Structure 1
Amino acid sequence: MATLRRPAGVSFCARSVCVSVCVCARSVCVLLLLLLVSGGVGGVSAEEYDYYSWPLDPLQTGRFYAKQPQCVDIPADLRLCYGVGYKRMRLPNLLEHETLAEVRQQAGSWVPLLAKRCHADTQVFLCSLFAPVCLDRPVYPCRSLCEAVRDACGPVMEAYGFPWPPMLQCSKFPLDNDLCIPMQHSSSHVTQTPVSKVCPPCDNELKADTILEHFCASDFVLKLKLKEVRRDRGDRKLIVAQKKKKVLKMGVLRKKDLKKLVLYVKNGANCPCPQLDSSLSSAYLVMGRRLEQQLLVMAVHKWDKKSKELKFALKYMKSHQCPSYHTVFQ
């Protein structure tokens, strides 16, 4: 086994026992980190440590913080990192968010991506940045972990019309021979469940929580009927029946948009969409965003009058308090 070396060490205290951990061989450091994240070493879990003497940011962003880095409890309403395996996080985090309010705002828009189960390590990767585990020095995800999640989830994001965001550019993360968080699942087992081949906007359960999440993340929400659906340059183009629509959330829509309403399922020309592949006689609940000059569909459901979940969601839409986050896909 690799041995620990003592020079230039970092320190932390577990309960009343202080331990000095020096700069160590990568295999030992990563093992220690994973043990802490997954439940602790010798019965002591990660959240029971007090940390001090934070070193400089290894990525050298040049950011100067008004407050000293600290360990805080991961908020119960930070849904992105619910059940991640540890209870305390470093603040400011590794994306330079300095307050929990800012973390909540920015992390909220990633929750729908978790539901797509595009990679088994998506939560590990995102939470290592949004809510990094409290160690004496910040530990970033390995570049290979970033690349694996990007390669698996990037196409899902592209299906919604959004590229992989610059803030998660994988080249800025450390190589695997440095101290970093590696992949937890092999490339042959990248997903927890088989990924559906259905167009992503069509692959959402008619559940109240899901509807309200998309309601908050969408620029506009409509009840409508469709006049025609056609393929258009790799997209699926939805022509809305003019007199058969009701605005539930106006958002960025303008009056001239409503006069001749055309929506797009991005990259949806060839993937199945059960709601749209059958008869168009029923009404639809459509939630979407504006991207440049196009109105993109983020979620589409058949309007089922008998659905208790839909009735519940519609009842609380007006009073529902949405988080005021900026979408990470911008």
Structure 2
Amino acid sequence: MTARVVSTAAAAAARWPPAFRDGSFQAREVKDFREWTDVVNSHFPWLEHRNHCGSAFTASLRTLRFGNSHFAMITAGSSEVRRTRQLAAAAESGHIKLIWQLAGSLDIEQERCGAVIRRGQSTVIDTSRSYRCRLSEGAQFAVLTLPHEACPGWLRISRSLCGTVLAAPSALRAALGAVMALTDPALGDCDEGGDSVLRAVQSLVTTSLHQSAEGPEQAGHNGSRLRLAQQHILSRIGDPDLDPDELASALCMSRRSLYMLFKQHRTTPSKMIHDLRLQCCRQVLDEPAHLGRKITDIAFDHGFSDYATFSRLFKQQFGVTPSEFRLHGRGAPLS
């Protein structure tokens, strides 16, 4: 059967009245592909749709919103969604989409990465960049959509994770179970307890994504402590007063123990702080959505107190100045 393509537009979402309100988990069953595209576009706009189903198309969507986060359970026939570069540029902002495959399979690609996600596996995509997802017949999956800031350090690790099978399955299953608990009708509308659960889920997701991104050399107890150090730095990346003493206090370690931990990984606390700040700045400079921002503002937002120091360290790390990177180096792989 020839794939049928339906392109999204801003009007597509407007045609479908909002069916779901904050804090209420509700469902929609459809038996028509055109109707399905409208339902999907009301929650996941700026997509192209292709129908690969050889028989009558059926699908269902159950969704739960909490503020700027969104959880959905989806079952659908063989089909495909694409976000092109043009549609990604048209979207207002980028989000993290964490996907748990519950049945069937999902063939996913984002830029140069791709994988087939099967039952029990998870993947993640960044909606600020182009991607493609093709569902097998009867595929069922859960999707948690979070803003970038929900995962400190996301911009630094995203390109190594998107479109891959994620590691750390236990923590990800725990995160899914926690969100699923909020969908219990007996709980009624989400309240402050639901917000607390979501914050815990975000913490689990952040830990899981960083575990998936780290190399095998960071495994084990000391690797976990180093990862906690990274997460704390990323959560305070904009604080110019962040220093090794504050980091040691946050990790409940002495200054000497902190330096011994970092020495095992052939670095120092100060170097890690600078490196993470530089990597985050480089990632922001590489994002089309931030082309209009002043480089000085980007540096200050990531904890640098003066532009001269930032520019000098950036050139030492990457071989070009921030201005040269923005002008000529965009799209280069991160170190």
Q: Would you say same fold, with TM above 0.5? A: no
- Per the normalisation by structure 2, the TM-score is 0.28
Please say which structure displays the higher CA radius of gyration.
Answer: 1
- Structure with more relative contact order (C-alpha pairs < 8 Å, separation 6 or more): 1
Which one has the bigger helix percentage? 2
